[in-house]
């Protein structure tokens, strides 16, 4: 019994300790579950508390900060396409982005549609009311007017209708309207350049790193205005269909003025398709006539085939060339000096000189000057002269400017090179800090001789451009009366002037399209009152040029007669 009793006791002890262990473990598990639950609660509490704290700090920061995060200006800077200003050579603004609006309607906010339409009709009678009425019935948001100005915005705002919404955006505005239409060009509604300078420099104008630095042009707004005004007056006076003018600095190629008429208001964003609105200076392709005689004489002098006083004897009254017959408009003496051929503008004299020069030398000159290639200028609106085929009579006709086409732009640039010492220039619209190296097309000696002869075209009693002889400006130049290539009915009267001749600084081209004889105009022709006997450039384009130089001369500060040595005055008068 004792053994059993002892055995039972041991069994009881083992059982007791086992049960005690299980019970203790069970209690620990309950405690652990409770602890985990509390930890999770603390974590969630801390998370939400942190969120609340962050939002509270953000709200306080926004409330105290002066910056308006929802300001339209900030939205504009972030989402709108900005463009740099464009200014002229004197920092006068030509083109700038401004804040403006589109006007829209939210039909859901219109309480009385009939009354609303009446208000609109009274304030903006030009709006398509019937179309607006249909759109109102569809209850969908729509625009009623794009690019409204501040006056229109105030009119719409004064209607007191919550349904009218104003959508802010940036618009490109041109401060001079029509004045630079063929040069500056336009942008579309998304502020991307589509023509002119705006298109050519589109990438640079959108460069955000250059926003504070305007694109500076060589143009002068004051001179552009004067030339535009005088040319318009000339077109009206001679009943011409159009015209153009180009003023260049002969030393660095700066384009000071480029006018093509008729022009158009670039603020109106019109789709211009009529060819009469093309840029006649850079895109127009013409046979420019007698202005080419200057190149013929220059080549003859440069190759030392003749001198200015060399007499060309027995010039025929007509020259047969293939099936064509070349004559002069007026009868000239049969013996003419080389300079007289240019002064009197003799076609026959130019033909005789061209034969001395030869086809090879003429070809080299035309290729070197790129006269029959597209103009090299910061515009995409450029013409392509017709391919030059050297047939039997090409040399003869080119000598006096027929059978060869070019743009007025290239012809004027070549005149600048003829009188600046012979350095070929590349005209530019962008103000440059350093002049590029230029190749020489004629010697300084030949350039000086040509300048003297061009002065005599204006000052001599036999010259064809006497009406441009303005006191103190020593104007020289050459006239040209020709036809638009491929359109014999389209007459082109041109005068390319240089001034002042004693120290050339500028060359100015003036051309008129289809001018008519003005029978009522009384000219002061070398002190004699007279009417025009011919409808040639000497009686219209030259006249307009004289008026322009009188007006722009003081701005250019070139009338310094009192400071010029007497021997120079005598030589160039």
For 245, the enclosing helix (H) or strand (E) is strand 242-249
Task: Answer yes or no: are the C-beta atoms of 406 and 412 closer than 8 Å.
Answer: no
- For 250-304, how does the pLDDT look when each residue is reduced to its tens digit (9 = 90+)? 999 999 999 999 999 888 866 677 888 999 999 999 999 999 999 999 999 999 9
The per-residue pLDDT for 171 is: 84
For 413, the enclosing helix (H) or strand (E) is helix 408-419
Tokens read off for 367: 């290729």
Phi, psi of 10 (to 5 degrees): -65, -40
The per-residue pLDDT for 153 is: 87
Q: What single DSSP character describes residue 521?
A: P
510: pLDDT strictly greater than 80: yes
The count of other CB atoms within 10 Å of the CB of residue 522 is: 10
As a CATH number, domain 75-216 is: 3.90.1310.10
> How far apart are alpha carbons 480 and 537 in whole angstroms?
6
User: Cis bond leading into 262, ω under 30°?
Assistant: yes
Could you tell me which residues come within 8 angstroms of residue 110 by beta carbon, excluding any fewer than 6 positions away?
116, 136, 161, 163
Phi, psi of 528 (to 5 degrees): -115, 135
The per-residue pLDDT for 487 is: 62
Distances (CA, A) of 544 to 197, 280, 508: 28, 17, 11
The per-residue pLDDT for 70 is: 41
347: pLDDT strictly greater than 90: yes
30: pLDDT strictly greater than 60: no
Q: What single DSSP character describes residue 287?
A: -
Task: Name the residue ranges covered by the structural domains of the chain.
Answer: 75-216, 224-572
- Positive or negative torsion for Cα 70, 74, 75, 78: negative
- For 526-573, how does the pLDDT look when each residue is reduced to its tens digit (9 = 90+)? 888 999 998 999 999 999 999 999 999 999 987 665 556 555 555 666
Q: Hunting for tokens 């003023």 — which residue is that?
A: 247
Tokens read off for 376: 């090299």
Cα-based angle 141, 149, 232 (whole degrees, multiple of 5): 130
The per-residue pLDDT for 59 is: 80
- Positive or negative torsion for Cα 383, 413, 247, 499: negative
The per-residue pLDDT for 567 is: 59
Cα-based angle 372, 377, 381 (whole degrees, multiple of 5): 80
For the residues of 352-384, what is the DSSP string, one character each?
HHHHHH-HHHHHHHHHHHTTTS---SS-S----
Q: What single DSSP character describes residue 194?
A: -
Phi, psi of 266 (to 5 degrees): -75, -10
Picking from 60-64, 491-495, 549-553, which range would have the lowest pLDDT averaged per residue?
60-64
User: What does the mean pLDDT of the chain come to?
Assistant: 86
For 222, the enclosing helix (H) or strand (E) is helix 221-237
pTM for the predicted model, two decimal places: 0.80
* Residue 87 β-bridge partners: 93, 216
Q: Cα-atom radius of gyration of the chain, to the nearest Å?
A: 40
Task: Answer yes or no: are the C-beta atoms of 103 and 166 closer than 8 Å.
Answer: yes
Assign domain 224-572 to its CATH architecture: 3-Layer(aba) Sandwich (3.40)
Highest mean pLDDT: which range of 88-102, 168-182, 235-249, 274-288? 235-249
User: Cis bond leading into 500, ω under 30°?
Assistant: yes
Average pLDDT over residues 160-170: 87
């Amino acid at each position: 019994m004792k053994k059993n009793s002892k055995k039972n006791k041991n069994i009881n002890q083992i059982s007791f300790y086992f049960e005690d262990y299980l019970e203790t473990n069970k209690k620990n598990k309950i405690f652990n579950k409770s602890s985990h639950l509390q930890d999770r609660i603390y974590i969630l509490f801390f998370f939400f508390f942190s969120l609340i704290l962050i939002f509270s700090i953000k709200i306080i920061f926004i409330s105290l900060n002066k910056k308006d995060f929802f300001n339209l200006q900030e939205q504009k800077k972030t989402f709108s396409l900005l463009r740099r200003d464009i200014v002229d050579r004197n920092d006068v603004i030509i083109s700038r982005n401004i804040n403006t609006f589109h006007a829209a309607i939210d039909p859901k906010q219109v309480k009385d549609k009939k009354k609303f339409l009446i208000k609109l009709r009274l304030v903006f009678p030009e709006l398509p009311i019937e179309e607006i009425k249909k759109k109102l019935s569809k209850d969908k948001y729509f625009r009623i007017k794009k690019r409204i100005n501040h006056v229109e915005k105030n009119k719409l705002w004064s209607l007191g209708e919550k349904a009218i919404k104003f959508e802010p955006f940036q618009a490109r505005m041109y401060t001079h309207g029509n004045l630079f239409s063929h040069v500056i060009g336009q942008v579309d509604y998304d502020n991307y350049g589509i023509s002119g300078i705006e298109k050519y420099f589109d990438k640079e104008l959108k460069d955000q790193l250059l926003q504070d630095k305007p694109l500076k042009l060589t143009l002068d707004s004051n001179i552009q205005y004067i030339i535009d005004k005088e040319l318009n007056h000339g077109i009206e006076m001679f009943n011409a269909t159009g015209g153009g003018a180009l003023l260049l600095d002969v030393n660095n190629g700066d384009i000071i003025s480029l006018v093509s008429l008729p022009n158009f208001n670039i603020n109106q964003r019109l789709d211009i398709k009529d060819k009469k609105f093309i840029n006649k200076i850079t895109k127009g392709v013409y046979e420019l006539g007698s202005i080419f005689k200057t190149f013929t004489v220059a080549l003859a002098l440069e190759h030392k085939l003749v001198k200015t006083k060399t007499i060309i004897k027995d010039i025929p009254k007509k020259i047969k060339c293939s099936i064509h017959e070349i004559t002069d408009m007026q009868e000239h003496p049969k013996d003419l000096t080389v300079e007289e051929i240019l002064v009197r503008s003799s076609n026959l004299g130019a033909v005789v000189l061209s034969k001395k020069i030869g086809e090879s030398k003429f070809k080299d000159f035309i290729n070197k000057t790129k006269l029959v290639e597209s103009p090299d200028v910061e515009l995409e609106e450029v013409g392509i002269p017709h391919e030059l085929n050297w047939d039997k009579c090409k040399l003869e006709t080119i000598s006096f400017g027929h059978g060869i086409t070019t743009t007025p732009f290239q012809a004027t640039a070549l005149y600048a090179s003829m009188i600046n010492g012979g350095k070929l220039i590349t005209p530019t619209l962008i103000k440059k800090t350093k002049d590029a190296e230029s190749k020489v097309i004629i010697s300084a000696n030949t350039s000086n001789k040509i300048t003297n002869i061009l002065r005599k075209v204006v000052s001599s009693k036999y010259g064809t451009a006497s009406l441009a002889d303005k006191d103190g400006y020593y104007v020289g130049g050459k006239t040209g009366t020709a036809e638009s290539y491929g359109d014999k009915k389209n007459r082109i009267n041109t005068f390319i002037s240089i001034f002042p001749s004693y120290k050339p600084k500028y060359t100015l081209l003036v051309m008129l399209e289809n001018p008519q004889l003005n029978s009522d105009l009384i000219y002061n022709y070398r002190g004699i009152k007279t009417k025009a006997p011919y409808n040639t450039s000497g009686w219209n384009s030259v006249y307009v040029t004289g008026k322009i130089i009188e007006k722009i001369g003081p701005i250019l500060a070139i009338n310094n007669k009192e400071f010029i040595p007497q021997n120079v005055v005598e030589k160039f008068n």
